[in-house]
Structure 1
Amino acid sequence: MILAVLNHKGGVGKTTTSVNLSAALAAPKRRVLLVDLDSQASASLWCGVSRAQLTPSSASCLLNQFPVGKAIRTTSTANLDLITASPELANADLTLRDVAGRELTLKHTLQPVRQRYDLILLDCPPSLSLIGVNALMAADALLVPVAPQFLAVEGLVSLLASVEHARTRLGSRVKLLGILLTMVRPGRACAEVRERLRSAYRDRVLHTEIAACRALEEAPATGRTIFQCGPRTRAADAFNR
């Protein structure tokens, strides 16, 4: 299965979800591949790759036909492999503009390695650029992280409309796995956002939520997942569900 983690608003816990969910799913000896598609390369940096070592990356494969199998790296988490991102992804819309079937570039790129893995997880850019559309075309399922913020919730309307457009106009078969509330803290503000989400999207809002915690905030700087730096936290427990 290919799972896209996507929200076109930044700062909603997208990369946090991608990295830690990948690690959780790899733990039971599933073979998991995390593909970083964000030109900021946050997931790649979190996994311990320095900026000087980002290439070959997903950009190399998508834009320069670099063999995808040679771009795969191991990580410090057993059974979890990585394809890094790099700043060149920011030029993807321009580079692929005149390519026939450009929306299917990622799907075709991943095809040679798809059978190696039980799950391929796509950490998508915080925009519905051509790379985001490619992710929707390649993925079987979509997970949408949402922070308990007014604008993050409002942005869901246009995001889900774009998903529907990919289905009806481009032939995407992606299915919404769920809306995941992240950065959850006790208090009225989070409770009100939760109520709004459930009222609008009902059972599409997952009951599992990712609690905010210091270990999760500090994990990227240490190159560790929540299971390595805070295995007994509520956040670690949530990702394991």
Structure 2
Amino acid sequence: MSASPTRSGTPPGSPSAAKIAAAAAAAATARLPAPEPVSAEAAHAEAKFVAARKAMVRIIQWELNDDKHRALEQILDTTQYLLKICGNVKNSPDESKFRRIRITNPTFARHVRDASGGEQFMRAAGWVLQVHDFEKHFAFEHQPGQWEWRVLEAACVELEKLIALLQGKIQRGMGDKKAAQEKMRQQVRAALEDDKAQREARYEAEPRIGLSKAGGAIAAVDQ
């Protein structure tokens, strides 16, 4: 006599659906090719990228974003300029004109050379100081695919984050400033209205005082 099936329809002793699925998954995994081993050179490059990116982020957060000594608007100008020069290289890697910047350039001097954290960021993002035609330049000589290029790409992302943060702070500050100005206007308006009310009260009282004095003088003459 054959064994009767269970309530689920699976005969006793048969493998469950979960076991069948697990076996199928194990078989599929076994057929996958083994991951290729990472070369020592690639691992070394990855370690360099991680360390360089960490140093670059730290400079952005603690040196470039120096709101204790610079106004938020000044930091924003510097950050936007740095994003522009780094973005030009990232978006046009074959354009040599974007890869070299004179440090005596007035715009560069104002936004980077004379700004807190400006030159530190340039070095952390992969730019190097060179002398070209008897003038000092910051140059970026790395190519796409190199770990230094990845640092430049990461720098652009971090600069965009800082720009968004600064714009939010400035916008909130403008809102607070407008609120303070409106409060001051209300206080001035209230003071003016109070002064007007006091002057009107004095004006209304003055005729009565004059009549009272005149009446007293007439009474004195009659006596």
Which range, TM-score by smaller chain?
Answer: under 0.3
Larger C-alpha radius of gyration, 1 or 2? 2
The structure with more helix, counted as a fraction of residues: 2
The structure with more strand, counted as a fraction of residues: 1
